[in-house]
Structures are given as structure tokens and as C-alpha cells.
Amino acid sequence: MTNSTSSPTAGRRQIRNIGIADLIGYRLPVPGVVSILHRISGLLMFLLLPLLLWVFEASLSSTTSYERLVAFCQGTLARLVLLALGWALLHHMCAGVRFLLLDRHVGLERAASRRSAWIVFAVSGPLALVLALFLFGVL
């Protein structure tokens, strides 16, 4: 039996899990950021769905509850929640179109994927800004 110092994994790249301390210096590519924000926006919409159903029910139950709801929505906190929900919907929709195109094998190359990720930000960002201006009475 020979004494060999090389292991079967010698020359291969070592794979290890990322630790919490490693996340600080880790830079995710733009398509990865779009993917994570797509998941976050979907989760936000899912978690706020009971609130939306309650608001919808309250708006239809009586004139008094509708007027109270309108008065409540004039507050800054309610407007921020509506803005977060609006951003989630807009981003999720734009990123969803991107992912549907990727599922159809459109834009799978690195440059095209990066460009489509930037397009998602270029479309959803201004739309969310217009929504914010509308919610806070500037438009």
C-alpha cells in the first residue's frame, strides 16, 4: 500500500455553506436581486391578503364603515402600507413577466438576463413612484 498525500478531492474547488458573517461582503447579481425581491413581494402580498379581504368587506358592509375606512386611509401609516402593497404588486407583476419569458427560453443568456432584470427595475420603480405620488396627494 502506497502512502499518498493527495486525496480524491484534491484539485477540486472546496464547497462550503455561506455563514452570516459572509453575507456582508457577498454581492448578488442583479437577476438574483430581482428573484429575491420577487419572492419577498409575493410573500408580502400573501401575508396582507387577509387585511385586504377585511378592508374589502368593510368597504361593502355599510356607508358608515366605508366612511371610516376612507378616513383611516388618509393616515400616513395606512398610505405606507398601501404603498408597500402597491410596490409588491407592481414588482411581482413585472418580474413575473420576466420569469414567464425565461420559462419560454427567451433571454437566458447572461447579458440578456441582466438586461431584463434591469428592465424590471426600470419599469416597476417609476410605476411605484407614480403610485406613491398619487397616494400622498402630489398627483
Domain with residue 105: its CATH number is: 1.20.1300.10
| CA–CA gap between residue 124 and residue 87 (Å, rounded) | 8
Give the total number of structural domains in the chain.
Answer: 1
Say if 60 falls within a structural domain. Answer: no
Say if 91 falls within a structural domain. Answer: yes
Q: Name the residue type at position 15.
A: I
**Residue 45, C-alpha cell as written in the block:** 402580498
Say if 16 falls within a structural domain. Answer: no
Say if 17 falls within a structural domain. Answer: no
Domain extent at residue 90: 30-48+76-135
Say if 70 falls within a structural domain. Answer: no
Please, are residues 84 and 44 in contact by the beta-carbon 8 Å criterion? yes
Confidence of residue 8 (pLDDT cuts 50, 70, 90): low
pLDDT in tens, 12-54: 778 888 788 887 888 889 999 999 999 999 999 999 999 999 9
Please, are residues 30 and 117 in contact by the beta-carbon 8 Å criterion? yes
pLDDT in tens, 96-126: 999 999 999 999 999 999 999 999 999 999 9
Query: pTM, whole model, 2 decimals?
Result: 0.78
